[in-house]
Structure 1
Amino acid sequence: MTANLLAGVDAVIFDFDGVVIDSEPISLGELGVTLSQFGLEMSWPELVTSFMGHSDIAIQAYIEEKIGKPTGDLFPDAWRKRVREGFAKSLPVVDGIPALFERLDRDGIPHCLATGSSQARVAFALEQIGETERFADTAFSAEQVKNGKPAPDLFLFAADQLGVDPARSMVIEDGLAGVAGSKAAGIGLIVGFVGASHLNDDALRKAHAENLREAGATHIIESISDLL
């Protein structure tokens, strides 16, 4: 039963995009526009599989390898600007997240963010959803470590900052890179989440769930409420 998983953990480490905020339609949608500007066309499932959870640096390296030259202002600067504008218009919180935060507060379970997004973008998004204070000192970005996801660095850093054993921690992730990084970090419970709106049809959701399992997820959930 997934509802009992929290009873055995000392901390919860959240991915941000696609787990706390339902932002991937904006972020990946604008990334698709950017890739088209470089002559690189990708389907929505390809965008989800290839880039979800990866840092801006990793995405930039991918683009530059494909086009054989620097990305210039188109990435990440212009992309970040469009994503920020999208966040300012509408940035939904994933269903079940407020209730899960309340549960963690009530049970005294420390929690943090571990995201491939830039610190500036995370700060802006947290302000938009009214959670700046909650993660004032615990919003950890790939910018703070040598290697982003799928390396274990960010998860090890997050656990160290919280003062917990990775083996007694839970990670909630929707990205293959994040699940792989969690496994490499020795995280005890790795929950793959497939309930956000970017997984917008049953076939994509089922395929992504299987990919998350293969990457190392110990549990798969379609609703954050499954953890309550």
Structure 2
Amino acid sequence: MAVSPIPLYPGGLVVVQPQRRKHCAGCRRGPLPLLVLEDGVPRCLDCADLGHLVFLPRGDTALTRRAREESALWAVVVRFDRRRGRYDRRGLLVEEPALARAEARCLVDAEARRRRRARDARRRAVEDERFTAAFAAEIVRLFPGCPADRARAIAAHASARGSGRVGRSAAGRALTEGAVTSAVVAAVRHVDTPYDQLLMSGVPRYEARRRIAPALAGVLREWAGAADAG
């Protein structure tokens, strides 16, 4: 897997959370919890003139944005994710007085932001409910033999926000026939065939799919109501 380079952030420096034990090339201190790469060699924050900064973990968007605005000097903290093969953002290093000012600003409008988050959550819930209903209706249109409760369950699973499933893809949001059919096929495979049991018994995925193909096709034919479906 190709390793993505350390990302650059306009206006900010980049500090790395190393996965391996690293020592500063200048003062030899280590192992370092955070480091800066200068000319390809690690430097501790003190040697990189960043030792006075404090770490703000990611998670609070408003606090992060305001701390960055308040801090004359700041750095993005990243850590390499082996599974994804890329560096992920973990937080910021900011000046301590700047963080205090940002926290004070957040306290002033905390209630307003809480109400706004609640409104946004309700709006998203309504949007998700409408989309799930539309997805379920499209399943029933393509597969009129599919029970209504199954169509709803398939639609809810495929379109769950943040799941990365087919219903959240561009094709899924457009309710294309291919995306809807893919969601139905996946549901039938896991619920109506012994596919999961085969995987748990050590059968390779492609072989398991081959074995359950007749049962899968049978359910799809029944739901589609046509002899040549599937």
Fold-level similarity (TM above 0.5): no
TM-score by length of 2: 0.22
TM-score normalised to structure 1 length: 0.22
Name the larger-Rg structure. Answer: 2
